[in-house]
Structure 1
Amino acid sequence: MTSVTEAAPVAADDTVPNQAPGKKSRFFPGLVFGLTFALLLSDYMSRQVLAAVFPLLKAEWGLTDTELGTLNSVVALAVGLLAVPLSVLGDRFGRARAIVGMATLWSLATLASAWASNYGELLVARIIVGVGEAAYGSIGLAVVFLVFKPHLRSTLSGAFLGGGAFGSVIGVALGGVIAMRFGWRHAFIVMGVIGLVLAVIYAFTITEKKLRDHAIPDAAAKLEPTTKKLMTKARFKTLFSTPAVVMAYLGSGLQLFMTGTLLAWLPSFFNRTYGMTPDRAGKVAALFLLLLGVGMIGTGIISDRVSKVVTVRKWTTSIVYSIVSLIFLVAAFSFGPCALQLTLLAVGAFFVSGPAGPAGAMVAALTTPSIRATAFATLALANNVLGLALGPIVTGRIADSIGLADALRLVPWVGLLAITALVIGWRTHHSSLAKLGLAPDVRRVKGEIR
């Protein structure tokens, strides 16, 4: 019997060879990704449709920007706080069943939002939406990783996280159109119905048995203890056992501070600064959120390609993405309404979430497969509490004091904290792998350790 730290070194991110295959369908992994991705779209459609109706709620109920930001942030806060405990339950009792249950809950809560008669009732409904969505990102990504080879992880993670931006695009654009034509309550109804339909389809298509039959084990499986007595202790030990994995959590979460701000406040920014109507502001904001989602996928693909031989480049690409987004977002909000501002904002939006994909890949490389949903939940905790929850509410609080445009000139500087965390993760990458017995290949490629 060996503990995690006593395990013999194995190469990180490699598929375990000589695994006896079961009866598999080559189409099933794509089906898993497609349906899980579709539910992710529903997740963020239900979450971000609120941003499209901010101007209408502000006018109807006389809400402050802090109150509006809170309605957005409580979802992300609930996701962050509950992601770990609910993911533990998902790991233990079945990830496919957990996904169906979560989708049903957030969809019903979204429908309930349509019948809110005051701010308090809507706030409660939004909290329940967050409870339903809490573990979806972590469990859904763990399910996707289960049926794909490890070398695709940055791409899959970036694509999966990009789905959040695409869902936001649909939620903001479609929600804005529906709200202007039929009222803001109908926007919530449409999003809730879509989620319920997808939950039913998932329940009849993806099962625990099918997932087990198509699972592709990876090298980190060798970190699993050989006895049940050590299993729980060793699994949870890997969640925080190395500096690199902790910095992956922090770097990703702090970088998503600005992502959360853009998701929540871009429609209001175009409404107030450019004088657009709510539906037009939603459509224009959706274009930038779409670019943000494409950036998540594109940056993930780049990271996978440049780090296929030299794993540490996942960190260096993340650092570059953070620096580029900081420069362009600071520059964009330094200008008034003009074409140059929109161009700079577009570049900043493309790169702002770039570290999210590589962070997911590094967390997977530094934790055991059986606890991976919980590891992703820990990453989700950082992403939501430090980023997606804190960004909108802090920006709203500042906007109440100095205006939204001026607030957006200040908040991108949080990126400096993200860059610092990512640099520390880069410097401790090899020592962290060695600590877990996942020693990197000592051969060199143009002076770099693989």
Structure 2
Amino acid sequence: MTTDQAAASAAPPALAARGGRYVWVVLALLCFVYVLNFLDRQLLSILAKPIQDELGITDGQIGRLGGLYFALFYCILGVPVAWLADRTNRVRVLTIACALWSAATIACGLARTYPQLAIARMSVGVGEAGGVPPSYSIISDYFPAERRGTALGLFNLGPPIGQALGVAFGAKIAAAYDWRLAFILLGVAGLIAAVAVLGIVREPRRGATDRKAAATPVPASAPVVAAAVVDGEATGFWATLRMFATQPTLALVSLAAAATQFVTYGTMGFTTLFLMREKAMTLDEIALWYALLLGIFVSAGIYLSGRLTDHYAARSPQVYGLLPGIALAVAVPFFIGFVHAPTWPVAMAFLIVPTFLNYFYLTPAVTLVQNSVSAHQRTLAGAVLLLIMNLIGLGLGPTWVGAVSDWLRPDHPVNSLQLAFYSLVPFYLIAIAFHLALARHLRSAAAR
């Protein structure tokens, strides 16, 4: 046993079961770090127009910067970082990761050419690879299974809050001063947050909130393990990847989430540019109206999906697939209305519904995976889930939209992004099909 593992074992049990206030402080701080994580990640798409104007880059290059280039490092390095976190001190891993991506964000603001900006974005991906999986695992050891969905739902408010603050903060700074200053200020805030994590968050004992169970593998047919295995050693990457390949629950939930992220990241990577270039919206208007829309409706969707999951999962496990599947089906016509709208106020009104419903997948997916593996597998299982989701969604979604826009622009110079957004509709249908397949599997497994 390593020194960090011994320290973790000796750490006091998580206080969530007793309603201690400290666990909520930890959750709030981890959520704040996730806000910065996502704000760093999305600032490029938010400031795409002024960056394009200064550096002279195309939609396809923007798509690769925020998609493929970032995702390759973010996803691939997330696995060894999670392997390390499952065997050492997760809080230290998170601290180092936060400091690294914040320094890389500052470098983005100092970049003078496209290659320099590309290298800086790859470095942001390297740092952010160590952000989310350790946080998932820490939260799962502070909150018991019956409250884990709500806790992870609150943690997953990080992306919408980060998006909203990024739009408001980034657009305002860029409009008043310069797009570079937004990157630099955000990087400095991240360095301060890294110090706060190291000083405040205590490493919890692994499996502290799980009911003690025999040290046996989780059955492949089990859709949800309410009391995950506490004993046993951390599982290696290849064994964890085999679990995702051989267990239908893990395979279906990861593919369903990946297909959904293809749509969400593809849309999010170009919405600001689309609204400014094709709907005549200004940076100041973006900073107010688009920021409010993201902050309110994405947050509401993620939080409500977590509460609904906790409420229905015990008696209806198919909710993990059915809830996001129905949400996406309702969102499709409103997404088409957003893309087709003649003016930005009409487009924003249509965008409210998909903004609310597109993220109903996230908390159920994370909760299902965390509940379906042992306590010593959670960080690596979370990393594999993110690997699959982000390689497909984050890596290919923005890359696809940017490439389609570049391809169509010679013949459709005025509305190439509008047509590229229409190409996301089939991916909505793929995501719905995967979620419904997951719901059918979970219902059958529960019946067995």
Normalised TM-score (structure 2): 0.85
How far did 1:202 drift? 0.8
Does the Cα contact within 8 Å between 2:233 and 2:376 map onto a contact in 1? Answer: no
Distance 1:236 1:99 in 2: 23
Name the structure 1 match of 2:225. none
Which of 105-114 and 25-34 deviates more? 25-34
Give CA-to-partner distance per residue, 1:273-294, whole Å, 9 cap, x none: 2212234334333233222232
Distance 2:249 2:206 in 1: 32
How far did 1:430 drift? 5.4
How far did 1:388 drift? 2.2
Distance 2:41 2:321 in 1: 30
Name the structure 2 match of 1:93. 88
* 5+ long unaligned stretches in structure 2: 1-11, 218-228, 409-415
Q: 1:22/1:58 Cα in 2 relative to 1: closer, same or farther (>3 Å)?
A: closer
Distance 1:226 1:262 in 2: 40
How far did 1:60 drift? 0.9
Does the Cα contact within 8 Å between 1:41 and 1:166 map onto a contact in 2? Answer: yes
Report the aligned-residue RMSD: 2.6
Over the matched positions of the two proteins, sequence identity in percent amounts to 27
Name the structure 2 match of 1:355. 361
**Matched residue of 1:304: which SS?**
helix
Name the structure 1 match of 2:4. none
**Matched residue of 1:367: which SS?**
coil
How far did 1:226 drift? 9.8
Does the Cα contact within 8 Å between 2:302 and 2:363 map onto a contact in 1? Answer: yes
Distance 2:239 2:317 in 1: 24
From 104, 128, 138, the counterpart of 1:133: 128
Does the Cα contact within 8 Å between 1:244 and 1:426 map onto a contact in 2? Answer: no
* 5+ long unaligned stretches in structure 1: 1-20, 433-439, 443-448
Alignment of 1:197-236 (within 5 A): 197-208=192-203, 211-212=204-205, 215-218=208-211, 222-223=215-216, 232=236
Does 1:397 find its partner at 2:403? yes
From 253, 265, 268, the counterpart of 1:263: 268
Paired amino acid for 2:438: G
Alignment of 1:3-42 (within 5 A): 22=13, 24=15, 26-42=20-36
Distance 2:97 2:234 in 1: 30
Q: 1:340/1:212 Cα in 2 relative to 1: closer, same or farther (>3 Å)?
A: same
Paired amino acid for 1:72: G
Name the structure 1 match of 2:170. 175
Give CA-to-partner distance per residue, 1:330-363, whole Å, 9 cap, x none: 2332332265433221101100111111111111
Does the Cα contact within 8 Å between 2:232 and 2:376 map onto a contact in 1? Answer: no
Distance 2:71 2:27 in 1: 23
Paired amino acid for 2:125: G
Q: 1:412/1:159 Cα in 2 relative to 1: closer, same or farther (>3 Å)?
A: farther
How far did 1:323 drift? 1.2
Name the structure 1 match of 2:429. 416
**Matched residue of 1:388: which SS?**
helix
Distance 1:38 1:367 in 2: 26
Name the structure 2 match of 1:47. 41
Paired amino acid for 1:276: M
Distance 1:152 1:228 in 2: 23
Does 1:286 find its partner at 2:291? yes
Q: 1:226/1:245 Cα in 2 relative to 1: closer, same or farther (>3 Å)?
A: closer
Name the structure 1 match of 2:246. 241
**Matched residue of 1:140: which SS?**
helix
Give CA-to-partner distance per residue, 1:115-153, whole Å, 9 cap, x none: 111110111011010110013112111111110121233
Q: 1:165/1:412 Cα in 2 relative to 1: closer, same or farther (>3 Å)?
A: farther
Name the structure 1 match of 2:156. 161
Q: 1:175/1:22 Cα in 2 relative to 1: closer, same or farther (>3 Å)?
A: closer
Distance 2:234 2:73 in 1: 31
Does 1:65 find its partner at 2:55? no
How far did 1:310 drift? 2.0
- Structure with more relative contact order (C-alpha pairs < 8 Å, separation 6 or more): 1
Aligned residue pairs: how many?
414
From 417, 420, 437, the counterpart of 1:407: 420
Give CA-to-partner distance per residue, 1:174-201, whole Å, 9 cap, x none: 0111122221111111110111111101
